[in-house]
Amino acid sequence: MATDSWAQAVDEQEAAAESIGSLQIKDKLEENGTASTATTTAAAASASTPAKMEGGEGNKTEEEDDKDDKAAQSLLNKLIRSNLVNTTNQVEVLQRDPNSPLYSVKSFEELRLKPQLLQGVYAMGFNRPSKIQENALPLMLAEPPQNLIAQSQSGTGKTAAFVLAMLSHVDPNNKFPQCLCVSPTYELALQTGKVIEQMGKYYSEVKLVYAIRGNKLQRGTQLQEQVVIGTPGTMLDWCLKFKFIDPKKIKVFVLDEADVMIATQGHQDQSIRIQRMLPKQCQMLLFSATFEETVWNFAQRIVPDPNIIKLKREEETLDTIKQYYVLCNSKEEKFMALCNIYGAITIAQAMIFCHTRKTAGWLAGELSREGHQVALLSGEMQVEQRAAVIDRFREGKEKVLVTTNVCARGIDVEQVSVVINFDLPVDRDGNPDNETYLHRIGRTGRFGKRGLAINMVDSKFSMNVLNKIQDHFNKNIEKLDTDDLDEIEKIAS
């Protein structure tokens, strides 16, 4: 067992997943008839995903849920996403050597990939590199290897890019680990492992092993797999304590989801300790969806002399969104107002945000009693259940999605026509949460269409929050009288 405090967090998290992990590994062993590793060949069927990361349940408080949030959201986004995120923003490349020519590719052929890998790429349905891949892939595949720090929002093709780089650098004739990939959680490691398996489907000489808590190896094992994916605790143990991996032979080190990684106390120390064991010439690659200062500081410690690629997030704007507020005195009145709005205008799909799970649950119940097809996204749900709810909503099976902020912050749900803040977004100190407001409202009115946002105000306090939001965005939010049907009809025109 690892001894540091950070490792405890991973231990706890992985211990929860252990029973499922062992089962899964056992299945795999029975399937493959192999010795004691959860190895998969690139051609093997991919591992099933355990449903163990929870937004919170039992005696967990909502604030505690928030801590698991980043990893859960990242996983959720991966589960619900089947395509690249559309972005028109430009890529910014800062080269270590500004005099060397800047390469970018518009096709996978230009990269001169091994035929087995090209076949894997096309089998995954990729026709051409994504924006970030255009620039990152030539850099990552260059000789001599170059270090890279890359930032772009979730869903822009980072995982596929570094998986391709790892598989390209592996020498299948060498039966020992050559690429290490560190992910913040057990579940995220499994997701990335799946991508490695898919992309390496036609490259069966390359083998993958999961360095995750549930995978117990015999002492003295020398790994033969070329690619190792895992969480930092187990990865460090396998390198340092058990010596299953010889870190001196590693050619590529990938640190995925750096922003999620540093959210867990101590994860970064562990990653740095792994990195220190690697040879100087090892290629260091670090990926992150965001680049706040803490991530940046961490990235610079892990990746010496980096090239840097950034893809800015699409700016969210309130310009095409009509915003209103409704004055009420209680949650029951807010519900009545909501019914009036539904009675007056046709709403294709709406997302309704509540402050607590309790309110969300109550509102979902009331709305379905009124005959609405309602989906509820709640903190008690496991991530896989949440993904299923979002999938159904996106398919239009339900027309209303009621949710709390904890569940929906950062989630890429496709366009909805109306967003309703049943409760206004505030942070833990009760101050207006402008960023969340923008993100919620940004769900509507995308791609140039006009969207509608309605805020429910039920106290002096929430009126004050609304005023501050108006001031912040310098945008007037008009009052709407929901007892006047004509007036409501007008807002939809």
Ligand X SMILES: Nc1ncnc2c1ncn2[C@@H]1O[C@H](COP(=O)(O)OP(=O)(O)OP(=O)(O)O)[C@@H](O)[C@H]1O
- Residues contributing to the site for ligand X (CB under 6 A): 74, 77-78, 81-84, 124, 126, 129-130, 133, 154-160, 289
Please, what is the minimum distance in Å from the beta carbon of residue 309 to ligand X? 12
Residue 309 or residue 477: which is nearer to ligand X going by CB? Answer: 309
Alpha helices in 287-330 (DSSP H): 293-302
In this structure, are residues 288 and 295 in contact, taking their beta carbons and an 8 Å threshold? yes
Q: Two tokens at 248? A: 């001196």
Query: Shortest gap between Cβ of 310 and ligand X (angstroms)?
Result: 13
Q: How far is the CB of 179 from ligand X (least distance, A)?
A: 17
Amino acid letter at 242? F
Question: What is the spatial distance between Cα 318 and Cα 450, in angstroms, rounded to a whole number?
Answer: 10
3-state DSSP assignment of residue 423: coil
Count, residues in the chain: 493
Please say which residue, 126 or 422, places its beta carbon nearer to ligand X.
126
Contact 114, 197 (CB under 8 A): no
Q: Which is nearer to ligand X, 161 or 352 (CB)?
A: 161
Closest distance to ligand X from the beta carbon of 78 (Å): 5
DSSP string of 145-181, one letter each residue? ---EEEEE-TTSSHHHHHHHHHHHH--TTS-S--EEE
Q: Which residue number, 230 or 247, has a Cβ lying nearer to ligand X?
A: 230
What DSSP element (H or E) covers 305?
A: none
428/443 Cα distance (integer angstroms)? 23
Residues 6+ apart with CB under 8 A from 196: 42, 163, 166, 167, 181, 208, 227, 229
Q: Minimum CB separation from ligand X for residue 194, in Å?
A: 10
Measured from the CB atom, the residue of 189 and 367 that comes closer to ligand X is 189
Task: Give bridge partners of residue 422 from the DSSP assignment.
Answer: none
CB of 164 to ligand X, least distance (A): 9
Contacts of residue 221, defined as CB under 8 A and 6 or more positions apart, other chains included, come to 36, 37, 242, 244
Nearest distance from residue 82's CB to ligand X, in Å? 5
> Measured between alpha carbons, how far apart are the two ends of the chain, in Å?
63
Nearer to ligand X, 85 or 389 (CB): 85
Q: What is the CA radius of gyration of the chain?
A: 24
In this complex, which beta carbon is closest to ligand X, that of residue 14 or of residue 134? Answer: 134
Q: Are 476 and 470 in contact (CB under 8 A)?
A: yes
Smallest distance, ligand X to C-beta of residue 184, A: 11
Residue 87 CB, shortest distance to ligand X, in Å, is 11
Nearer to ligand X, 153 or 403 (CB): 153
Nearer to ligand X, 157 or 306 (CB): 157
Least Å distance, CB 81 to ligand X, is 5
Nearest to 444 by CA among 325, 321, 354: 321
Instruction: Pick the closer one to ligand X by CB: 121 or 420.
Output: 121
- For 15-72, the DSSP string reads HHHHHHHHHHHHHHHHHHT-SSS-EEETTSPPPPPP---BS--TT--HHHHHHHHHHH
Choose between 86 and 329: whose C-beta lies nearer to ligand X.
Answer: 86
DSSP letter at 426? B
Q: How far is the CB of 149 from ligand X (least distance, A)?
A: 14
- Rounded CA-CA distance 333/457 in Å is 10
Chain centroid to Cα 130, Å, comes to 17
* Choice between 37 and 74, CB closer to ligand X: 74
d(CA 83, CA 94): 27
Neighbouring C-beta atoms of residue 364, cutoff 10 Å: 22
Residue 228, SS3? strand
CB of 30 to ligand X, least distance (A): 29
Beta-bridge partners for 209: 39, 228
Say which amino acid occupies 254: V
